[in-house]
Structure formats: structure tokens, C-alpha cells
Structure 1
């Protein structure tokens, strides 16, 4: 893996959680583990393919843990790692800012 160089902490944080969906996935997993179908319903508008890709990236970066239960039918749960929980905690103020300014943001042409 190529070593990355960042200009600041925000640059590093955006790299690990960048994109439209990762923040919503982190938020959805904040209350506890979810199965794939539950997670897909918790993140409206995401396609199955995109959810799979995002979960793989998040697992590779250490944000999400994938637990496979060997049973019939097969069961897979996704949960946040400590690293993922720490990022989720850091995103709370950003979410609060977004909530407080949603009307203004929606009005931007």
C-alpha cells in the first residue's frame, strides 16, 4: 500500500470517510450491529452494489467489522470498530451544524 501524505488532519479524515454514503453508514451503525438488509433500509437511496463497495472500503480501513455467523441461513452483521466509533463521535458536531443550517443549505441554488 502506498504511503499517503496529508496536508492536515481534515485531509486525512476526509480520505478515510469521504463520499456521500460512508457518513450515513457510520451514523446508522452508531446504535449497534446491523445485518445487510437492515443497513440498506437504514440508508435510503443507496443501491445494493454501492453499499457492498462502501462496506468493503470501510472494513479495509478499519472503520467497520464484518461478523459472519456460520448457520443456515447464513447471517452477516456489520458493526463499528473502536476506530469507527471515534470517527462517528467526531462527526456529531458536523451533523449538528448541518441540522442547524439545513434550511439555508437547501436554499443554495
Structure 2
């Protein structure tokens, strides 16, 4: 038997954030009329917890730039930020649309 032949190799797993193709199928669009901010926050928070990105919208700080996970964290944060932008009405979007923003800041 060759060394390691029966050993299990850990394969990198795909983060759940990458499985979402259209967040609007999961969270209704915040418009301030049909969907209130409080309802939207509750729905968005549930999805964030389910997709393991709650740390991008709560008070958890981003890893420092020297951390090996920083680039991955930034990439996932960009997806969460797109979710936020994608679930806001055209009227509300300009209020949070900022260059170089993080999901938590939005």
C-alpha cells in the first residue's frame, strides 16, 4: 500500500455566499412602503446567518491586511455588499451607495 493511499484529503469547500445567484429571491426589496426597514433587516439578517456572512454586517471587525484571510474576507464582503445594494429600491440606493464601502458600513 502506498503511503496516504487511503488517507482522506481535505478539499477546499465553497463558501455558501457563492451559491446565491439572485438575492432578490431570498430577501424582498426594501422600498420603505411595502417592505419596512425593520422587516428588511430581519430578513437580511436571517439570510446572512444562514449563508455564514453575519460577521460582515455585525460589529465583527475585518481581519487586518496582514492576515492571510484578508483577501478572501474582502471578496466575500463584496458579495454581501452587492446583496445589500441588490435589495434596495432605486430611490433608497443612492443613500448607501459609497465607493470603497464595506457591507457593515452600508
TM-score (norm 1): 0.30
More helix by share: 1
- Point out the structure with max Rg over C-alpha: 2
Higher relative contact order, structure no. (Cα contacts within 8 Å, ≥ 6 residues apart): 2
Task: Give the TM-score normalised by structure 2.
Answer: 0.30
